[in-house]
A and B are shown apart, each in its own frame.
Chain A
Amino acid sequence: MQSIIERIEKEIAAWAPEAGAEETGIVRATGDGIAEIDGLTKTAMSEMVLFDPTFDRTLTEALKDPLPIYGLVLNLEEDGVRAVILGDATKIHEGMLVRRLGRLLSIAVGDSFIGRVVNPLGEPVDGKGPIQAAEMRPIEREAYGVIDRASVNVPLHTGVKAIDAMIPIGRGQRELIIGDRGTGKTSIAIDTIINQKSEPVATRPICIYVAIGQKESKTAKLVAELESRGAMEYSIVVTAPASAPAALQFLAPFAGATIGEYFMEAGRDALVVYDDLSKQAVAYRQMSLLLRRPPGREAYPGDIFYLHSRLLERAAKLSKEKGGGSLTALPIIETQEGDVSAYIPTNVISITDGQIYLEANLFNKGQRPAINVGISVSRVGSSAQTKAMKKVAGKIKLELAQFRELEAFMQFSSDLDVETKKRIDAGRRMTEILNQGRGAPLPFEMEAVIIFAATNGYFDSFAPEEVSAMEKKLQDYLAREADGVLAAIKESKEIREGSEKTLREKLDAFIARQAA
């Protein structure tokens, strides 16, 4: 026994901890979420570093608060580096040890993120426990090149009649939603997410909603709405609230894109909503000024265009060889007093494949969604539009634009000829048809049938103010009486001769019933 004890004691005395050699730095100064670090001469741009709170504490103290705080190196300077602090900056102090992590900023991704609310570092913030990640991915990466992409040819139905008919969005497209505050930008994005519930599960896109610089109460409300509508089953919310450090607000869209790319590369479709990029630009401006980068127009740094272009370029429709997945981006930009010619709006307009422009005037007139169809455009979506929608929605945009002109003209002239009056009435009816409240997205086949009825004069016997109520009745009637036609349109994505005939009969019967 004694010999065993002696042997063990000898082993303990001879024990020497393993040495760990690494490159480190020391915090020289910190403030406003930025740390100036001496050393770290071999650090790469965008590399993650770790502020080690355990280094200058006793083991007991260190075990009480062992959680490290991460930083992101954004300035490489002659005698040190500057990093943004991704966490509680009040815990960082002068003289603190900073360790290199040897990897670019990465977040966890995986299927288990579906239904969860996470922060831009991929950490859950919904109190539902840890997330089992499939893998770690760098949040900054180069977008796919030309060879890896296919053309956008599959529609992404928003469930909003005005958009699906006139400004169609395809899977893999980048469509900007732009407008003043309180004009319904978020509503369109949320309706689009809710509407994906009507898609078959196999082709239903995974929706990622990125909330940047928003009130946490608004995000909580939105998550509750998505949950109540059953949309969280296929959605992920990434949130960097207004109270989060600017660095996290800047990173949030990239985290959203990274999560979306995971699904895209798995051959699935994903939709990512960036709400909104104006706030991200402001956060990036704040960071850049604190990092002492030279300010440019409106005090934004010189690379603000590159910030948005490299983010939005990651939206893609992949070729079959790459799995055929897609990542659709719906960036949102908030304008001031409808000024689309400001710096950030013009940048993002030029990057995206079209824009949905929401106008405060139209919103105040009661038009929902308040889309100005004259300057809203989808540059690639029409090739992804279904045959059914193409057939019924062909000239709506032109007719509505003409109606808006005539409406303006009407204010100066009281004496109008019959033809003009007819056109104005038709325009008013169409405007009423396209009016659609928040949270009421329609399946694409119902949209197609309603627009079919409108463009074929089935609402002509009603006054414009009656059209909205009639449309609601028609929806109920069709759901009850014409589910076969709706199913056929949903299946074939077009209105075939047989379906059209049956549809016309049903519509005639509906009109006759209303007239009686």
Chain B
Amino acid sequence: MIDDYTRLLEATAEIEDKAASDAAVTKLILHLKSAGRMKMLPKIARELKKVAARRHALRPFVEVAHHKEEAAALRAAAEAGIDARHAVVNPSLIHGWRARSNGNLIDHSAKRALLHIYQNVTR
């Protein structure tokens, strides 16, 4: 039951219209009250937080080693199907970029290449 309500709210969050999604939440609370199931509300909130955290973890995310590589990285990532609005600078990449979205990772960084060399040499 909790899963069902959570899925319902998750779907509501997809709707761009804020008023409509607020109305859906109000109706759900009224329904829970009338059904005597208000105890479920904290559990639903917890589940929703989990869903939000999962979405955040799996959101399109592009990292670049230097600012100057941002435009090229975003373009290349978009070509690979990862659409991000901007990139985050991560100097630990040394050179290049990496992008991930929905469980897919494209690593175009020098750090990966150097680690790969190190692992092959020390194996």
- A associates with B: yes
Give the contact stretch, choosing among A36-44, A110-118, A186-194, A403-411: A36-44
Is B60 part of the binding interface, using a Cβ–Cβ cutoff of 8 Å?
A: no
Least CB distance from A100 to B in Å reads 9
Given A38-B58, A58-B92, CB of A17 within 8 Å of CB of B108: yes
Complex-state Cα separation, A63 to B119, whole angstroms: 9
Of all chain B residues, the one with the shortest Cβ separation from A79 is B54
User: CB distance B115 to A24 under 8 Å?
Assistant: no
Given A17-B112, A21-B80, CB of A28 within 8 Å of CB of B53: yes
Is A155 part of the binding interface, using a Cβ–Cβ cutoff of 8 Å?
A: no
When distances are taken between beta carbons in the complex, the residues of chain B under 8 Å from A297 are: none
When distances are taken between beta carbons in the complex, the residues of chain B under 8 Å from A208 are: none
Complex-state Cα separation, A28 to B113, whole angstroms: 27
**Contact pattern, A 231-245, Cβ under 8 Å of B = 1, otherwise 0:** 000000000000000
Complex-state Cα separation, A40 to B53, whole angstroms: 16
When distances are taken between beta carbons in the complex, the residues of chain A under 8 Å from B122 are: 66
Is B106 part of the binding interface, using a Cβ–Cβ cutoff of 8 Å?
A: yes
Complex-state Cα separation, A16 to B108, whole angstroms: 8
User: CB distance B108 to A63 under 8 Å?
Assistant: no
Is B20 part of the binding interface, using a Cβ–Cβ cutoff of 8 Å?
A: no
Is A516 part of the binding interface, using a Cβ–Cβ cutoff of 8 Å?
A: no
A-B contact count (CB 8 A): 74
Is A20 part of the binding interface, using a Cβ–Cβ cutoff of 8 Å?
A: yes
When distances are taken between beta carbons in the complex, the residues of chain A under 8 Å from B80 are: 21
User: CB distance B107 to A54 under 8 Å?
Assistant: no
When distances are taken between beta carbons in the complex, the residues of chain B under 8 Å from A97 are: 105
* Contact among B50, B95, B105, B109 for A28, CB-based, below 8 A: B50
Least CB distance from B1 to A in Å reads 16
When distances are taken between beta carbons in the complex, the residues of chain B under 8 Å from A20 are: 105-108, 112
Given A58-B92, A63-B118, A79-B54, CB of A24 within 8 Å of CB of B103: yes
When distances are taken between beta carbons in the complex, the residues of chain A under 8 Å from B103 are: 23-25, 38-41
* Contact among B51, B92, B106, B115 for A19, CB-based, below 8 A: B106
User: CB distance A39 to B118 under 8 Å?
Assistant: no
Q: Which of A1-43 contact B (CB under 8 A)?
A: 16-26, 28, 38-41
When distances are taken between beta carbons in the complex, the residues of chain B under 8 Å from A80 are: 54
When distances are taken between beta carbons in the complex, the residues of chain B under 8 Å from A59 are: 92, 94, 111, 114-115
How many chain B residues have a CB neighbour from A under 8 Å?
A: 29
Given A62-B115, A66-B115, CB of A16 within 8 Å of CB of B58: no
User: CB distance A38 to B106 under 8 Å?
Assistant: no
Least CB distance from B108 to A in Å reads 4
User: CB distance A17 to B92 under 8 Å?
Assistant: no
When distances are taken between beta carbons in the complex, the residues of chain A under 8 Å from B96 are: 16-17
Of all chain B residues, the one with the shortest Cβ separation from A62 is B115
Of all chain B residues, the one with the shortest Cβ separation from A20 is B107
* Contact among B57, B92, B95, B113 for A26, CB-based, below 8 A: B57
Least CB distance from A51 to B in Å reads 14
Complex-state Cα separation, A58 to B54, whole angstroms: 25
Is A57 part of the binding interface, using a Cβ–Cβ cutoff of 8 Å?
A: yes
**Contact pattern, A 54-76, Cβ under 8 Å of B = 1, otherwise 0:** 10011100110010000000000
Given A19-B106, A23-B103, A28-B53, CB of A66 within 8 Å of CB of B58: no
When distances are taken between beta carbons in the complex, the residues of chain B under 8 Å from A95 are: 57
Least CB distance from B15 to A in Å reads 20
Is B110 part of the binding interface, using a Cβ–Cβ cutoff of 8 Å?
A: yes
Complex-state Cα separation, A25 to B57, whole angstroms: 9
Complex-state Cα separation, A38 to B122, whole angstroms: 32
Least CB distance from A102 to B in Å reads 14
When distances are taken between beta carbons in the complex, the residues of chain B under 8 Å from A25 are: 103
User: CB distance A66 to B109 under 8 Å?
Assistant: no
When distances are taken between beta carbons in the complex, the residues of chain A under 8 Å from B113 are: 17-18
User: CB distance A57 to B92 under 8 Å?
Assistant: yes
User: CB distance A24 to B104 under 8 Å?
Assistant: yes
Is B102 part of the binding interface, using a Cβ–Cβ cutoff of 8 Å?
A: yes
Of all chain A residues, the one with the shortest Cβ separation from B109 is A17
Least CB distance from B39 to A in Å reads 21
Complex-state Cα separation, A21 to B100, whole angstroms: 9
When distances are taken between beta carbons in the complex, the residues of chain B under 8 Å from A22 are: 104-105, 107
Least CB distance from B119 to A in Å reads 6
Complex-state Cα separation, A57 to B90, whole angstroms: 10
**Contact pattern, B 20-62, Cβ under 8 Å of A = 1, otherwise 0:** 0000000000000000000000000000001101100110000
Instruction: List residues of A whose CB falls within 8 A of some B CB.
Output: 16-26, 28, 38-41, 54, 57-59, 62-63, 66, 79-80, 95, 97, 99
Instruction: List residues of B whose CB falls within 8 A of some A CB.
Output: 50-51, 53-54, 57-58, 80, 92, 94-96, 100, 102-115, 118-119, 122
18 additional A-B pairs beyond A18-B113, A59-B92, beta carbons within 8 Å, are A16-B96, A17-B112, A17-B113, A20-B105, A20-B107, A21-B80, A21-B104, A21-B106, A22-B104, A23-B104, A28-B53, A38-B54, A38-B103, A40-B103, A57-B92, A63-B115, A66-B118, A99-B105
Q: What are 11 of the A-B contact pairs (CB < 8 Å)?
A: A19-B106, A20-B112, A21-B105, A22-B105, A22-B107, A26-B57, A38-B53, A38-B103, A41-B103, A59-B94, A79-B54
Q: Which 4 A-B pairs have the closest CB atoms?
A: A39-B103, A17-B113, A26-B57, A58-B92
